[in-house]
Amino acid sequence: MSGEQKQAVKRNIDRFPEDFMFELTEDEKLKVVTNCDHLKNLKFSPYLPFAFTEHGVLMLANVLNSRRAVHVSLQIVRTFVRLRQLLSSNIELARKLEALEKKYDEQFRVVFEAIRQLLMPPEKPKRRIGFQVKEKKIQYDLN
Protein backbone atom coordinates (compact mmCIF):
# COMPACT_ATOMS: atom_id res chain seq x y z
CA MET A 1 0.00 0.00 0.00
CA SER A 2 1.46 3.34 -1.02
CA GLY A 3 1.68 6.37 1.23
CA GLU A 4 -1.19 7.93 -0.74
CA GLN A 5 -3.40 4.88 -0.22
CA LYS A 6 -2.50 4.79 3.46
CA GLN A 7 -3.54 8.45 3.73
CA ALA A 8 -6.87 7.58 2.11
CA VAL A 9 -7.42 4.93 4.79
CA LYS A 10 -6.43 7.38 7.56
CA ARG A 11 -8.85 10.00 6.17
CA ASN A 12 -11.60 7.37 6.45
CA ILE A 13 -10.41 5.75 9.67
CA ASP A 14 -13.96 5.62 11.09
CA ARG A 15 -14.72 2.95 8.45
CA PHE A 16 -12.00 0.69 9.89
CA PRO A 17 -12.63 -0.37 13.50
CA GLU A 18 -10.00 -2.66 15.02
CA ASP A 19 -11.89 -5.80 13.99
CA PHE A 20 -11.62 -4.62 10.34
CA MET A 21 -8.01 -3.42 10.28
CA PHE A 22 -4.89 -3.00 12.39
CA GLU A 23 -1.41 -1.64 11.84
CA LEU A 24 1.52 -4.03 12.08
CA THR A 25 4.33 -3.31 14.51
CA GLU A 26 7.90 -2.94 13.26
CA ASP A 27 8.66 -6.47 14.51
CA GLU A 28 5.59 -7.91 12.75
CA LYS A 29 6.54 -6.06 9.55
CA LEU A 30 10.01 -7.63 9.68
CA LYS A 31 8.53 -11.11 10.18
CA VAL A 32 6.16 -10.65 7.22
CA VAL A 33 9.00 -9.46 4.99
CA THR A 34 11.18 -12.38 6.11
CA ASN A 35 8.48 -14.99 5.43
CA CYS A 36 6.99 -13.58 2.21
CA ASP A 37 9.49 -13.02 -0.60
CA HIS A 38 6.97 -11.11 -2.71
CA LEU A 39 6.82 -8.41 -0.01
CA LYS A 40 10.56 -7.66 0.03
CA ASN A 41 9.98 -4.04 -1.10
CA LEU A 42 8.04 -3.49 2.11
CA LYS A 43 11.31 -3.87 4.02
CA PHE A 44 12.48 -0.43 2.91
CA SER A 45 9.14 1.34 3.27
CA PRO A 46 9.03 4.02 5.97
CA TYR A 47 5.39 3.09 6.63
CA LEU A 48 4.07 0.35 8.87
CA PRO A 49 1.59 -1.69 6.82
CA PHE A 50 -2.05 -2.20 7.62
CA ALA A 51 -3.58 -5.67 7.82
CA PHE A 52 -7.24 -6.02 6.87
CA THR A 53 -9.82 -8.62 7.80
CA GLU A 54 -12.43 -9.84 5.35
CA HIS A 55 -14.76 -6.95 6.27
CA GLY A 56 -11.91 -4.47 6.19
CA VAL A 57 -11.16 -5.44 2.61
CA LEU A 58 -14.74 -4.62 1.65
CA MET A 59 -14.39 -1.19 3.25
CA LEU A 60 -11.03 -0.72 1.56
CA ALA A 61 -12.65 -1.31 -1.84
CA ASN A 62 -15.03 1.56 -1.05
CA VAL A 63 -12.24 3.91 0.05
CA LEU A 64 -9.67 3.26 -2.68
CA ASN A 65 -10.86 4.11 -6.15
CA SER A 66 -8.12 2.75 -8.37
CA ARG A 67 -8.97 -0.16 -10.66
CA ARG A 68 -6.16 -2.25 -9.23
CA ALA A 69 -7.29 -1.66 -5.63
CA VAL A 70 -10.82 -2.72 -6.46
CA HIS A 71 -9.58 -5.79 -8.39
CA VAL A 72 -7.28 -6.88 -5.54
CA SER A 73 -10.02 -6.29 -2.98
CA LEU A 74 -12.43 -8.46 -4.97
CA GLN A 75 -9.85 -11.25 -5.20
CA ILE A 76 -9.24 -11.13 -1.46
CA VAL A 77 -12.96 -11.22 -0.69
CA ARG A 78 -13.36 -14.21 -3.03
CA THR A 79 -10.50 -15.92 -1.21
CA PHE A 80 -12.19 -15.37 2.17
CA VAL A 81 -15.48 -16.71 0.81
CA ARG A 82 -13.73 -19.83 -0.55
CA LEU A 83 -11.94 -20.41 2.76
CA ARG A 84 -15.24 -20.12 4.60
CA GLN A 85 -16.81 -22.65 2.21
CA LEU A 86 -13.93 -25.08 2.75
CA LEU A 87 -14.16 -24.74 6.53
CA SER A 88 -17.91 -25.18 6.58
CA SER A 89 -17.74 -28.23 4.32
CA ASN A 90 -15.23 -29.87 6.68
CA ILE A 91 -17.45 -29.05 9.65
CA GLU A 92 -20.47 -30.46 7.84
CA LEU A 93 -18.51 -33.59 6.94
CA ALA A 94 -17.49 -34.04 10.58
CA ARG A 95 -21.15 -33.70 11.67
CA LYS A 96 -22.29 -36.31 9.16
CA LEU A 97 -19.53 -38.66 10.25
CA GLU A 98 -20.55 -38.27 13.89
CA ALA A 99 -24.20 -38.98 13.03
CA LEU A 100 -23.21 -42.13 11.12
CA GLU A 101 -20.99 -43.23 13.99
CA LYS A 102 -23.90 -42.95 16.43
CA LYS A 103 -26.16 -44.84 14.04
CA TYR A 104 -23.90 -47.86 13.51
CA ASP A 105 -22.46 -50.15 16.12
CA GLU A 106 -18.95 -51.06 17.24
CA GLN A 107 -18.02 -53.03 14.10
CA PHE A 108 -17.58 -49.80 12.11
CA ARG A 109 -15.60 -47.99 14.80
CA VAL A 110 -12.27 -48.70 13.08
CA VAL A 111 -13.59 -47.31 9.79
CA PHE A 112 -14.80 -44.12 11.46
CA GLU A 113 -11.47 -43.67 13.26
CA ALA A 114 -9.60 -44.06 9.97
CA ILE A 115 -11.82 -41.46 8.28
CA ARG A 116 -11.39 -39.07 11.21
CA GLN A 117 -7.61 -39.41 10.97
CA LEU A 118 -7.77 -38.64 7.24
CA LEU A 119 -9.68 -35.44 8.00
CA MET A 120 -6.98 -34.23 10.40
CA PRO A 121 -4.01 -32.35 8.95
CA PRO A 122 -0.81 -34.39 9.08
CA GLU A 123 1.76 -33.51 11.71
CA LYS A 124 4.98 -32.13 10.36
CA PRO A 125 7.96 -34.31 11.27
CA LYS A 126 10.24 -32.70 13.83
CA ARG A 127 13.66 -31.80 12.54
CA ARG A 128 16.53 -33.44 14.38
CA ILE A 129 18.93 -31.03 16.01
CA GLY A 130 22.70 -31.48 16.16
CA PHE A 131 25.43 -32.91 14.00
CA GLN A 132 24.93 -36.18 12.20
CA VAL A 133 28.19 -38.11 11.77
CA LYS A 134 28.06 -40.57 8.93
CA GLU A 135 30.95 -43.00 9.03
CA LYS A 136 31.32 -46.43 7.57
CA LYS A 137 31.07 -49.20 10.12
CA ILE A 138 34.38 -50.99 10.45
CA GLN A 139 34.32 -54.76 10.60
CA TYR A 140 36.95 -56.12 13.00
CA ASP A 141 38.32 -59.61 12.62
CA LEU A 142 38.30 -61.16 16.08
CA ASN A 143 40.11 -64.40 15.15
- In tens, the pLDDT along 21-78 reads 898 899 988 888 888 888 878 888 888 888 888 788 778 877 877 787 777 777 777 8
pTM > 0.85: no
pLDDT at residue number 83: 75
DSSP E strands: which ranges in the chain?
A: 21-23, 50-52
Max CA distance (Å), the chain: 90
Structural contact between residues 112 and 98, judged by C-beta atoms closer than 8 angstroms: no
> Is pLDDT of 116 > 80?
no
pLDDT at residue number 104: 67
